[in-house]
Amino acid sequence: MQFDKELDARGLSCPLPILKTKKALGELASGQVLKVVSTDPGSVKDMQAFANQTGNPLLESAEENKDFIFYLKKK
């Protein structure tokens, strides 16, 4: 998937993946896509909740080896 910015949140535990995602999204323009890579299993549900609450759609959520990959679009 195409993305405009990548955030490496590997090795970080809750709530850092979400907090850093919020910060990174703040730097994007509306419509741009952020790719987040995390190793925190809790981040799967957290990202969905974050997307629901903030209205920034979660385009894709995938698992690759030990990493969890998310694509979020800035609303």
Partner 1 sequence: MATKKMAIIATKGTLDMAYPPFILGSTAAALGYEVQIFFTFYGLQLLRRDLSDVKISPLGNPAMPMPVPMPVLVAALPGMESMATMMMKQKMKKKGVAPLEELRALCQEADVKFIACQMTVDLFDFEKSDFIDGIEFGGASTFLEFAGETDICLFV
Q: Which of 8, 15, 27, 75 binds partner 1 (CB under 8 A)?
A: 15
Helices and strands, counts by H and E, the chain: 2, 4
**CA–centroid distance for 64 within its chain:** 15
Q: Does 22 bind partner 1 (CB under 8 A)?
A: yes
Q: Which of 37, 42, 44, 54 binds partner 1 (CB under 8 A)?
A: 54
Shortest approach of partner 1 to residue 12 CB, angstroms? Answer: 5
Shortest approach of partner 1 to residue 47 CB, angstroms? Answer: 12
Residue type, 73: K
Q: Does 68 bind partner 1 (CB under 8 A)?
A: no
8 A C-beta contact, residue 38 and residue 8? no
